[in-house]
Amino acid sequence: MEEKLIKEIPKKSDNLAQWYIEIIKRAELADYAPMKGMMVIRPSGYAIWENIQRLLDKKFKETGHTNAYFPLFIPESLLHKEAEHVKGFAPEVAWVAYGGSEKLQEKLAVRPTSESIICAMYSKWVHSWRDLPILINQWANVVRWEKVTRPFLRTTEFLWQEGHTVHANYEDAQKEALTILDIYKDFIEKELAIKVYTGEKSEREKFAGALHTYTVEALMPDGKALQAGTSHNLGQNFAKAFDIKFEDRNQSLKYAWQTSWGVSTRLIGASIMVHGDDEGLIIPPRVAPYQVVIVPIFKMKDRSTVIEEGEKLYNELKNSYRIIFDSREEYTPGWKFSDWEMRGVPLRIEIGPRDIKENSLILVRRDTRKKIKIKREAILDKTSLLLNEIQKELFLKSKKFTEENTRYPKDYEEMKELLKTKKGFVAVPWCNNEECELKVKEETKATIRFFPMEEEDVSGKKCVVCGKPAHRIAYFARSY
């Protein structure tokens, strides 16, 4: 009987929260730091983030964006320049009051987001229409003093990218915000294999200081929505607060229009929850630290032959895939199978004396655990085919789950019952009234996650809560 590596981990369906924590620790993605609410991202977890960075950064650069870096600390006076913005972040801001043993003349905020410090610089850099657009992104860390934390999903310090752009008019800023939204959707669906919805946030839920906030929403296995990324048209609010002006082509002085947008290491948490199973992680091939693991199987009399053939196989594949040859002899093959399954490597190749004699290999898919016997010479093509199939089928599974858990109640009572018993998204006609929004939140703990980008016809429809004429469709869900 094969040895089992995973013991005493709850089933995903029984206790998602505990399963999530245990899998992260056992797969060595992250660990708790000595400071409350903070985590250490271990090499396996950071490798996923590096792959996310590499793929997403390429998409940004293809659309004309460049990377820069801005200071971690923000003077209190700058943070307070945009009143709505500072009000929205005030409970989460960490402050530095001393430099060494000397009290600072002005407190410094540890950035919860960088609009303030970046706008201060843009006010120095923008003078003419010729300076526009500015299309800058930074990969950085931020600190938000969260009360309730969970690794990757919500931590006091986390890693992210934040784009900050400046434009000459509303139309250009709006186009930028929606372009980034499309990039996020495309990236999350194609690279992370997670089905998402995109839409606009309500006035109550939008980013503090923004004109419009657009969101990417994913559905987790427990029926809760996860905000996977946001893109904001900031309008001229920050430009007016920070005096970002430019002389247009007619030599008139105008305030600039801005956007900001970001995704974070939260994407790793989403991928863990959406794809993992009771045996551990299932990492989509396109972001997996290792896409393939080779496990040799031998008795000591066959050792040199199997190891030699395994190394040949590794060298043949290493330029095409992220691959590891697990030649450790202190562990049995069965232990290795469980170990790499828990770590979510998409494809395992088994090679032993019989396989060598028959000029064959055994391939095992992590998602289905199906074993496939192939001819040795077919390995390159078959590996490519299987990794593509795994990526595609993980997305289709996520898509099916999301669509099956998006429901359309006929009245408010059914809406409340669905949010209580079925969870997931509920889509309802909406009046745009904040009082109705607060009532739903109070009675169900659900919030408006988004108004869909493609507006549906609501002619003749009534708000599901108050019965007044509906203006649009709203998607509600409980959320992380």
What structural domains does the chain harbor? 16-275 (3.30.930.10), 292-402 (3.40.50.800), 406-477 (3.30.110.30)
**pTM score of the predicted model:** 0.95
Cβ atoms of 464 and 427 within 8 Å: the answer is: no
- Which residues of the chain fall below pLDDT 50? 1-3
Q: What is the dihedral of CA 205, 211, 217, 223, to 10 degrees?
A: 10
- 166 phi, psi to nearest 5 deg: -130, 135
Residue 7: the pLDDT is: 57
Distance spanning both ends of the chain, measured CA to CA? 40
Residue with tokens 């080779």: 294
Tokens of 160: 């992210």
Burial profile 179-201: b = 16 or more Cβ within 10 angstroms, e = fewer: ebbebbbebbbebbbbbbbbbbb
Cα angle for residues 154, 160, 164 (degrees, 5° grid)? 125
Residue 1: the pLDDT is: 35
CA 214 centroid distance within chain:
15
Residue 87: the pLDDT is: 80
Residue 8: the pLDDT is: 67
**What is the rounded distance in angstroms from the CA atom of residue 402 to the CA atom of residue 196?**
8
The kind and range of the H/E element at 402 are helix 379-404
- 145 phi, psi to nearest 5 deg: -75, 80
**What is the rounded distance in angstroms from the CA atom of residue 136 to the CA atom of residue 64?**
9
**What is the rounded distance in angstroms from the CA atom of residue 310 to the CA atom of residue 298?**
11
Residue 23: the pLDDT is: 96
